[in-house]
Chain A
Amino acid sequence: MGTLALKTLLDDRGKLLTALVGVVFAVVLVNVQGGLFVGLIRKASLLVDNGAADVWVGHRHMNNVDFPRDIPRRWVHRVRAVPGVAAAEPYIIGHSVMTLPNGGFEQVLVVGSDPATLLGNAWRVVEGRADDVRQTDGVIIDVCDADKIGHPQIGDLREIGGQRARVVARSEGILGFLVTPYIFTTIDRAAAYLHKPADKCSYFVVQLEPGADPAAVCRDIRACLPEVEACTRDEYAGWSIDYWLKRTGLGISFGASTLLGLAVGLVIVAQTLYASVLDRLSEYAALKAIGATDRQIFAILSSQAIVMAIVGSLVGLAIVLACQSFVSTPRAPIVVPWWLSFGSVTLVLVICLAAAAAPYLRIRRVDPAMVLQT
């Protein structure tokens, strides 16, 4: 039965090609659209995902890593005393304004980490070194945002919040969900740029001892400091993403266009299968006259649909990989996690099987006696 399904499918090469275009289109669209969406939305939790902290402690109503509320720095000692905590450091994130050499200005997001541990400092440093941030007035900027702040080179000076800042290193690809560039520096300098009292900070970033249960540590921190929230890295990344998803309707926008792509793919595959069946109606009628059951006919059609889905998905995923390699940029990253590819292929498979339903119903209506009439 498989041979029959496969060879009749291959015999109609033109139609097969058309159906494959539909499947490839759907797979590429879902993965590239989905990859762009994942790439974009992951920026919302960039600092959490890459900050090397196992647990984030902040204001009781914290909901987005980029919009923290101040907490007293002195509480860090109580956090350090919680069993399972290996290290806890205050961390500052806040919005300020950078004055540019041409007199212009740019909103920036200042990130300050403890100078001793540099927990939560910049990563992917491509010029200078990450620990150069300890130098006087030292800040790290990202090359991808350089155009916004007048293309500063290493050693160039800028002014942030009325304070002097000197570029000591440059990272590549640390771009947040907001359009404001990240400026990494030490915590005290960040407090100065933000005009924040020296006894305040935004978070405590916590590293756990090996084997410690993050959920249990969070629970203990909340018990010992009822005024704060403590959550694991994954939890806070999820909250930060949810913040944007719920407030912007971004998911609906991306989801709608992706569904549209799937619908177009479905229509192409269904139409092609249907046309192929119409073209071979007498052959299917002959099969029914010989004694093929409806189940066997469906098996033929569904096998063809599955082959289309698999071949189209493989070609589509290859194109997605090429897109990731050649089109993805730090500003518009295409991040295709395994579950997106797996999900899209599964979805396309289901769609192709659904597309086989229309021709199947057409064949069901075929009277096998027609082959004796012609």
Chain B
Amino acid sequence: MVKHPPPTPPAAPIVVDALSKTYGRGADATPVLRDLSFSVARGEWVFLVGPSGSGKTTLLSILGCVLSPDAGRVEVLGRDVRSLSPQAAAELRLRNIGFIFQRFHLIRGLTAQENVSVPLTLQGANQTVARRRADELLAAVGLAEHRHRNVRKLSVGQCQRVALARALVTNPDLILADEPTASLDGEHGHAAMQLLRELTTQSGATVIVVTHDPRIQSFADRVLKLENGQLCANQSPLSPNTPAPRNLGTDEIRSIGEFTPTPPEEPQNEPEPMLVVE
């Protein structure tokens, strides 16, 4: 595995300054992001929240170098996104950014091990090395015994863990997760985030998560709330009354394999809102 660090290690892996993005032209022009400015520190977990259409996914796409901003400056891992050629952007994504997609987008027909080793294969890594690294990560996410199974035969929860392992296999500096728990019930969603936390603690990767799921927001160091393309909140998610996330042990996480519907919860008191919109 060849890892190419950015030319100068940035203090803030993500710097966004006066970012704007508009879809369409002329009368059909729809502003999606307006004058956003924020930065993310190394190792920080930042969640992007907000209603549908607020621009979260567009922002994530720009941070992932798959979209280019129309105006403003966006630096990802020390590289100006607007100045990146498509090849340079692909290279940056391949070597320094890990993606977790909402629907996983695992490659049907490949085993869990082969799916996880795809980014390393794309990097040109030796197959044996790539598979060994994939095995390590699959073991870490509790799928060692399923590494040779076709992903078609895995449960939703297991696919999520394969996607997680794939995002981490290149040991990226930045992880972008798009609704990573949308397909999971509460317990599995929590376990997946806990697992991601454990696996990224050592590497110190920065994690950006787009989510609608309030149950996992307690994992965030900071929450950015978007509305109509504008940043309307930028703060820590934990209010004094919000319970801290329940940390599952590694064995407990690995024991969770099959997707099971969330059992109906006992009626509880309305929790404190996690965010205060200014």
Contacts and interface: CB of A to CB of B under 8 A. Distances in A.
Interface of A: 1, 3-4, 7-8, 10-12, 280, 282-283, 285-293, 296, 367-369, 371-374
B109 A8 contact: yes
Given A4-B118, A8-B107, A280-B108, 18 more contacts: A1-B122, A3-B121, A3-B127, A4-B121, A8-B109, A8-B110, A280-B107, A283-B105, A286-B101, A286-B107, A290-B99, A292-B94, A293-B87, A371-B99, A372-B60, A372-B64, A372-B102, A373-B57
B82 interface: no
Contacts of B95: 291
A142 to B, nearest CB: 58
Contacts of A369: 61, 66-67
Contacts of B118: 4, 287, 290
A293 B105 contact: no
B119 A290 contact: yes
15 contacts: A7-B114, A8-B107, A8-B108, A11-B109, A280-B107, A283-B106, A283-B107, A286-B99, A286-B105, A288-B90, A289-B66, A291-B91, A371-B99, A372-B60, A374-B102
A292 B99 CA distance: 13
Interface in B27-45: none
B101 to A, nearest CB: 5
Contacts of A3: 110, 114, 121, 127
Nearest to A373: B57
5 tightest Cβ-Cβ pairs between the two chains A and B: A291-B94, A11-B109, A286-B105, A291-B93, A369-B61
A291 B119 contact: yes
B66 A372 contact: yes
Contact of A291 (B57, B67, B90): B90
Nearest to B87: A293
B149 interface: no
Interface string B112-124: 0010001101100
Interface in B73-117: 87, 90-95, 97, 99, 101-103, 105-110, 114
Interface of B: 57, 60-61, 64, 66-67, 87, 90-95, 97, 99, 101-103, 105-110, 114, 118-119, 121-122, 127, 166, 178
Given A367-B66, A372-B61, A372-B101, A291 B114 contact: no
A374 B119 contact: no
A1 B93 CA distance: 18
Contacts of A1: 121-122
A371 B94 contact: no
Nearest to A279: B108
Contact of B122 (A296, A371, A372): A296
Contacts of B92: 291
Contacts of B178: 372
A287 B114 contact: no
A34 B61 CA distance: 55
A290 B110 contact: no
A371 B105 contact: yes
Contacts of B102: 372, 374
Given A7-B109, A10-B109, A372-B64, A292 B90 contact: yes
Contact of B93 (A12, A282, A290, A296): A290
A194 B266 CA distance: 113
A292 B170 CA distance: 14
User: Which of A4, A283, A290, A296 counts the most B-chain CB atoms under 10 A from its CB?
Assistant: A290
User: Which of A285, A296, A369 counts the most B-chain CB atoms under 10 A from its CB?
Assistant: A369
Contacts of A7: 109-110, 114
A372 B87 contact: no
A9 to B, nearest CB: 8
Contacts of A372: 57, 60-61, 64, 66, 101-102, 178
A10 B61 CA distance: 32
A8 B107 CA distance: 8
A3 B103 CA distance: 23
Contacts of A4: 107, 110, 114, 118, 121
B105 A282 contact: yes
B25 to A, nearest CB: 17
A371 to B, nearest CB: 5
A194 B110 CA distance: 76
B158 to A, nearest CB: 18
A280 B105 CA distance: 10
A374 B60 CA distance: 13
Contacts of A292: 90, 94, 122
Nearest to A374: B103
A197 to B, nearest CB: 80
User: Which of B66, B121, B166 counts the most A-chain CB atoms under 10 A from its CB?
Assistant: B66
A369 to B, nearest CB: 4
User: Which of B87, B106, B108, B127 counts the most A-chain CB atoms under 10 A from its CB?
Assistant: B108
A3 B118 CA distance: 10
B82 to A, nearest CB: 15
Contact of A11 (B60, B87, B105, B108): B108
